[in-house]
Structure 1
Amino acid sequence: MVVTGSHQAGCGASWRCGHRRLVRDEMPKLIPPEVIEKTLKGIAIPSRPQVLVQLHKELAKEDPDPRVIARLISGDVGLSAAVLKTVNSPFFGLSRRMSSVEQAVSLLGMRSATQIVTGLLLRTAIAGKAGSMERFWDSAEKVAGIASHIALTIPQGPRDEAYCFGLFHDIGIAILMQKFPDYRQTLAMAEQIIDRPITAVEEERHATDHATLGYLVAKGWFLPEVICDGILYHHDPSVFDDREVTSSQALTLIAINALAEHFHDEYLHLRHNSNWQRMGDRALDQLGLREDEYCDLREDLTKMAG
């Protein structure tokens, strides 16, 4: 059974339940050099900003200092304002409003704060022409916020990784939009095809795909392995059927993000989401969501968005 937008009218299906414990097992991925060369042909991966290099350098220390992390973030007025806007979003689920970067770092933790910063910096690095990417980034932020909220409802839910994944998972799309003038036509075409993922359409039209490209960008920006893996497979429903392909935590991130995009597209914006039709049943099984939990989530998120 694939769960689609028909549940907007009611939730009458009987679903399997039972939350899976998140496993922090990571498996190295080997992409053949020829695939990397083809994926990156004529495409430049943006380099990491110096502030991010410094943040990772501090985190790599045996005893990293949260004051240094906060000071590095606060050194950029625009970045610090964006961080506070992000963590104070209703979707992020904090119990109180943060008024300073120091408070945010203290409450979220250094690594979580750095993941948020990474997503914000990548947006700046792949900004595109003024206004041309605003809709893309606005959707990415909303999906990331919804994913973070969903993660809060799951035992040991990876809230911070889910937020970072939501921001990053389609970063390849942002790059391909700037590379190929007709790429928006590719997106429109892929949305109408239910039985094939967007990555297959991209391969046919552009000899590359945004999932592999996003994976390479995430690796280049030193994102956690579990996020990199999730990006690589986030349009591949079969990954849920073969548990040897990637880690349980990566599967959970893929499932959370698929559900977040489903809510964002079909309930908040009333538009079709073909990816959910392909992997919705597997995503719900991975998360172990019962019918009533799904409906509660939908109601909560609709109120937040309203």
Structure 2
Amino acid sequence: MLKEEKTLQELVERGIKLPPQPRVLVELETRLGKGDPDVRELARIISQDPGLTAMLFKAARSPLFNPRGRDLDKLDQVLMVIGIKQCLNLVRAIALSASVPESNRRAFESFWSRSREIARLAALIADDRITVCNVFPDQAYLAGIFYECGVPVLMQRFPEYCKSIQLGTVNCWPSLAEEDTRFNVDHGSIGYLVARHWKLPDFIAAAIHYHRELPPVEQGTTRSLAAILQLAVHFFFRLNRLSDPHWTDLADEVLGELCIATDDLSDFFDQISERFVSGEG
């Protein structure tokens, strides 16, 4: 923790500001930390933010989080159907994009649109592989949203960052090495610090930190989640008919971790993409 605090202080001194948690989220986490939460009280806290409430209802109506298709017209029903911990993760994910000030609307919209698509793909993959990986869809969705959240932080701090790497295009994937060279910091490390700052579960923060690598086998759930994220990114590339420059190096490890045979990958992609296009997740 001391090392993280020192790193955070160094970022602040360089003018790099991590997005603060919204007041509603802080209040929600404080109440949950007291134990034995009352669903109606939690609903009251969340309802203080109309935009957040609307997005949570939208997520809760998805077949992925509400497979029985129950009608939900009250916030306490959402909490009961999805579960309190799962709702907290969805609130964290939904709140992130609103917490980062926009410095370039077009690039921000493109970035968050891509992040939401990767998060949905990750959630669908986790849902299918849950018995293998023990990673739940809401956890994978949260990780997908936070996966590259260091990018908009750098966009805010360095005006030339957005232009230099063409963030407004769907095929733009910032290079960690290039960022280190140009700005002496990379979005993967910042994303990890944001995840820690927002009190995400340790294994989610760790999976974000590894970024385009897989952790050692002994890291268990962290490795499984990292594999889910890599496959979600790969499927995003395939859906957009783009080449994935990292997939050749990662494929064997990712598929092995998720227990997917190489010969079955195309069928699995068809299955996930069909659910994705139908609006699930």
1:120–1:192 CA distance, 2 compared to 1 (3 A): closer
Q: Which residue of 2 aligns with 1:122?
A: 96
Out of 221, 231, 234, the position equivalent to 2:198 is 221
Out of 166, 170, 183, the position equivalent to 1:206 is 183
Provide, for residues 109-131 of structure 1, a one-character-per-residue CA deviation record: whole Å limited to 9, x for no partner. Answer: 11110111111111101141444
Instruction: Measure the CA separation in 1 of the matches of 2:255 and 2:209.
Output: 20
Provide, for residues 78-122 of structure 1, a one-character-per-residue CA deviation record: whole Å limited to 9, x for no partner. Answer: 111111222334565733155333222112211110111111111
Instruction: Measure the CA separation in 1 of the matches of 2:63 and 2:242.
Output: 23
TM superposition shift of 1:34 = 6.2
Instruction: Give the alignment's Cα RMSD to 1 decimal.
Output: 2.6
Please say if 1:273 is aligned against 2:244. Answer: yes
Q: Counterpart of 1:78 in structure 2: which amino acid?
A: G
Please say if 1:301 is aligned against 2:278. Answer: no
Q: Which residue of 2 aligns with 1:165?
A: 143
Superposition map of 1:142-157 within 5 A: 142-154=117-129, 155=131, 156-157=134-135
Cα contact 1:39–1:207 (8 A) shared by 2 = no
Report the 3-state secondary structure (helix = DSSP H, G, I; strand = E; otherwise coil) of the residue aligned with 1:46.
coil
Decide which moves more: 72-81 or 202-211.
Answer: 72-81
Q: Which residue of 1 aligns with 2:234?
A: 262
TM-score normalised according to structure 2 size: 0.84
Instruction: Measure the CA separation in 2 of the matches of 1:98 and 1:146.
Output: 24
Instruction: Measure the CA separation in 2 of the matches of 1:293 and 1:113.
Output: 33
Q: Counterpart of 2:121 in structure 1: which amino acid?
A: I
Q: Counterpart of 2:206 in structure 1: which amino acid?
A: D
1:192–1:160 CA distance, 2 compared to 1 (3 A): closer
Q: Which residue of 2 aligns with 1:52?
A: 25
Instruction: Measure the CA separation in 1 of the matches of 2:254 and 2:2.
Output: 25
- Give the share of equivalent positions with the same residue, in percent: 31
TM-score normalised according to structure 1 size: 0.78
Provide, for residues 150-209 of structure 1, a one-character-per-residue CA deviation record: whole Å limited to 9, x for no partner. Answer: 111110332211010011111001111222233243478xx899xxx9222211111001
Cα contact 2:18–2:194 (8 A) shared by 1 = yes
TM superposition shift of 1:33 = 6.5
Instruction: Measure the CA separation in 2 of the matches of 1:117 and 1:219.
Output: 16
Cα contact 2:135–2:225 (8 A) shared by 1 = no
Report the 3-state secondary structure (helix = DSSP H, G, I; strand = E; otherwise coil) of the residue aligned with 2:246.
helix
Q: Which residue of 1 aligns with 2:60?
A: 87
Give the total of aligned pairs. Answer: 267
Moved over 6 A (4+): none
Cα contact 1:105–1:113 (8 A) shared by 2 = yes
1:127–1:294 CA distance, 2 compared to 1 (3 A): farther
Instruction: Measure the CA separation in 2 of the matches of 1:211 and 1:281.
Output: 23
Instruction: Measure the CA separation in 2 of the matches of 1:117 and 1:262.
Output: 26
1:54–1:33 CA distance, 2 compared to 1 (3 A): closer
Q: Which residue of 2 aligns with 1:253?
A: 225
Report the 3-state secondary structure (helix = DSSP H, G, I; strand = E; otherwise coil) of the residue aligned with 1:134.
helix
Instruction: Measure the CA separation in 1 of the matches of 2:66 and 2:262.
Output: 22
1:84–1:192 CA distance, 2 compared to 1 (3 A): closer
Report the 3-state secondary structure (helix = DSSP H, G, I; strand = E; otherwise coil) of the residue aligned with 1:250.
helix
Q: Counterpart of 1:289 in structure 2: which amino acid?
A: I
1:144–1:276 CA distance, 2 compared to 1 (3 A): same
Unaligned runs of 5+ in 1: 1-28
